[in-house]
């Protein structure tokens, strides 16, 4: 809603006089809302946005332009974009009926043109964006992006925002290595398991992490450690020397959350995964 004022001047021979000032309110019949289909995100994620434009007036609005800032923020002395438009994803509906796909320029910012909203009707524009290396991932981080609607008949640009939050979760991977790669019969070898957590939340005991493996050739006289500390048979792990089946006990392994730092040069976020190392040493 915007206010306006107006005043008249009466001129006559030798002078002029002003009228009183009248004030009015200019109300737009258009309203804009923006929502994200999901309210959280992760690294390399895809987010779907829905922009709804409702026209409560008696006149159609044609050739509107939507501009999305893709979450732009300033860091490292530059403008960073935590979102990137997914090419070809924009779709447009009038009163629920799909229209020809609108023209979309990826930017950033993303610009979608040629949108119309009928009198007493609505238009919905749907599109996808992907998180980039500029998307913050630490617990509590957010991406706020704003869509702006402009065009003929719109005096003051209309805006709407959507906020999504970094998902609080562990993101686990595991690698296995062997040392030495060549071993004599009756020799000792070590399997090393490294569990990495790229998420912003610790993988705690309640996650019930279990490493399971079947050693072939079968090992004997096992020594098992976690981050250098001995693991005790039965309570820490189980092993069947007749089959080579090995498994750690549920809840024994925990993996700390990753740490995150933002480059002062590029503004990109770097992930230093949390790690837990389990070693199994035995005789062939």
pLDDT tens digits for range 17-59: 888 888 866 567 899 999 999 999 999 999 999 999 999 999 9
Residue 85's nearest CA partner among 152, 163, 145, 15 is 145
In this prediction the pTM is: 0.83
180-239 pLDDT, tens digit each: 999 888 899 999 999 999 999 999 999 999 999 999 999 999 999 999 999 999 999 999
* Mean pLDDT, the chain, whole residue set: 95
At 25 the pLDDT is: 61
Domain limit, last residue, from 114, 143, 166: 166
117 in a domain, yes or no?
A: yes
> Among 132, 166, 200, which residue terminates a domain?
166
The reply to whether 113 and 157 lie within a common domain is: yes
- Give the CA count within 13 Å in the CB-facing half-sphere of 189: 18
The mean pLDDT of 244-267, rounded to a whole number, is 97
Residue 19 lies in a domain: no
* Residue 262 in domain: yes
Say whether both 155 and 193 belong to one domain: no
So what's the pLDDT on residue 7? 86
Q: Identify the pLDDT of residue 2.
A: 58
Domain of 191, CATH number, reads 2.60.40
CATH code of the domain covering residue 45: 2.60.40.740
Domain identity same for 64 and 158? yes
**Domain encompassing residue 204:** 172-283
35 and 143 inside one domain: yes
Alpha-carbon distances of 229 from 179, 220, 267, rounded to whole Å: 19, 20, 38
pLDDT of residue 168: 96
Q: What domain count does the chain have? A: 2
Distance CA 254, CA 236 (A): 12
């Amino acid at each position: 809603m915007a206010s306006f004022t107006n005043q008249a001047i009466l001129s006559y021979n030798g002078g002029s006089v002003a009228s009183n000032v009248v004030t009015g309110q200019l109300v737009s019949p258009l309203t804009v809302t923006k929502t994200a289909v999901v309210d959280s995100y992760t690294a390399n994620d895809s987010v779907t946005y829905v922009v709804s434009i409702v026209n409560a007036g008696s006149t159609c609005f044609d050739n509107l332009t939507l501009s999305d800032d893709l979450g732009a923020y300033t860091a490292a002395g530059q403008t960073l974009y935590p979102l990137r438009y997914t090419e070809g994803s924009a779709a447009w509906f009038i009163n629920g009926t799909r229209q020809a796909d609108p023209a979309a320029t990826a930017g950033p910012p993303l610009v979608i043109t040629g949108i119309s909203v009928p009198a007493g009707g609505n238009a919905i524009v749907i599109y996808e964006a992907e998180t980039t290396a500029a998307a913050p991932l630490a617990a509590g981080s957010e991406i706020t992006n704003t869509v702006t609607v402009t065009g003929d008949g719109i005096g003051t640009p209309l805006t709407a925002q959507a906020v999504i939050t970094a998902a609080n979760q562990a993101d686990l991977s595991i690698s296995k290595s062997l040392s030495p790669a060549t071993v004599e019969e009756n020799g000792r070898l070590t399997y090393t398991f490294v569990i990495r957590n790229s998420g912003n939340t610790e993988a705690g005991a309640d996650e019930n992490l279990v490493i399971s493996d079947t050693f072939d050739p079968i090992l004997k006289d096992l020594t098992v450690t976690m981050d250098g500390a001995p693991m005790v048979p039965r309570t820490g792990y189980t092993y069947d020397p007749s089959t080579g089946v090995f498994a750690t006990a549920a809840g024994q392994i925990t993996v700390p959350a990753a740490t995150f730092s933002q480059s002062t040069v590029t503004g990109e976020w770097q992930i230093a995964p949390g790690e837990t190392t389990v070693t199994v040493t035995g005789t062939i």
